[in-house]
Amino acid sequence: MTSLATTTPATGRRLPRIDLWWLPRGLVLGLLAFIIFGPLTNLVLWTVAERWYFPHALPLEYGFSYWQRVFSPRGNAMESLANSVFVATLTVIAALALAVPAGYALARLKLPLRSLILIAFLIPQAFPNLPVYVNIARLFYGLGLNGTIPGVVLVHVTHGLVYAVWIATAAFSAVDRELEEAARSIGASALRAFRDVTLPLAAPGLMASAIFVFLESLDEFTGSFFVGAPDVNLLPLLLYTAGAGGNYQIASITALLLLVPSIAFMLVVERFLKADVLSRVGH
């Protein structure tokens, strides 16, 4: 009897019966929607609030004067935005140049201490970056890299390599080894088999790792502060100083600028990161 009522969704739908679960289900999903969209709505409200203080539930006056202030030639948001995108693009190029060979080797070739090497890339994520960045800043100061774009890019590459290498490794191990061997057996060189077979098949995963690195670079705050500021202005630094100064409107507008690319990626991520790649991350 129970097996009749609760087989697959497809057959279950053919038996019309009153589903008493719609109420708790709706409540839970509604609560989840509030938890996720409530804070985002609150942020958007702040970007157009001219005046808003306790105990008013909604802003007293709406307007775009803060937007004008952010995007005015005098404001430094445009410069920060351009810098952030430029740094992130360079970071992606450098990180992928390092991660593609490394990921291929970790996925395909026999490596001594493979687990340890994978863990090594985790180190930048495993240590509170602050004291490390302070020491990097000292080192870069001696090399003349402090306060330059290349210096910031190098810090971001180090920070993003864990995503780049781990996802690239997963992407390459999800590619069927036999396809590569088939190409080799009909006479393709190792390099040719890699370029024409393995690389295109791993491309969606590599694309995902590129976007991850791009977003990590946009997000990165601590390293930019110690190595970049005050010469290289980036969006997270602008957001932090505005927020610390109590200017919630400017901080919220900057936060919104950082949000848009993140949410755009979230909406398309499954096109790049298939389940077979995801299930191999960290193996």
Minimum distance from CB of 78 to other proteins (Å)? Answer: 19
Task: Choose between 197 and 208: whose C-beta lies nearer to other proteins.
Answer: 208
157 or 171: whose CB is closer to other proteins? 157
- Kindly state the smallest distance separating residue 140's Cβ from other proteins, in Å: 10
Give the separation between CA 204 and CA 24, rounded to whole angstroms.
Answer: 38
Least Cα distance to 179 among 130, 108, 87, 114 occurs for 108
Distance of closest approach, residue 60 Cβ to other proteins, in angstroms: 12
**Nearest-angstrom CA–CA distance, 168 and 9:** 36
The least CB distance from residue 176 to other proteins, in Å, is 15
3-state secondary structure of 256: helix
Nearer to other proteins, 73 or 246 (CB): 246
Which residue number, 122 or 188, has a Cβ lying nearer to other proteins? 122
Q: Give whole-number Cα distances, 97 to 100, 224, 274, in Å.
A: 6, 22, 23
CB of 138 to other proteins, least distance (A): 8
**With contact defined as beta carbons under 8 Å apart, do 166 and 121 qualify?**
yes
Contact call for residues 98 and 157 (beta carbons, < 8 A): yes
In the three-class reduction of DSSP (H, G, I as helix; E, B as strand; rest coil), residue 283 is classed as coil
C-beta closer to other proteins: residue 96 or 197: 96
| Cβ nearer to other proteins, comparing 36 with 78 | 36
Least Cβ distance, residue 100 to other proteins (angstroms): 9
The candidate with the shortest Cα–Cα distance to 220, out of 93, 79, 84, is 84
To other proteins, the closest distance from the beta carbon of 97 in angstroms equals 8
- Judged by CB, which is closer to other proteins: 49, or 183? 49
- Give the 3-state DSSP-derived string for 189-244, with helices as H, strands as E and coil as C: CHHHHHHHHHHHHHHHHHHHHHHHHHHHHHHCCHHHHHHHCCCCCCHHHHHHHHHH
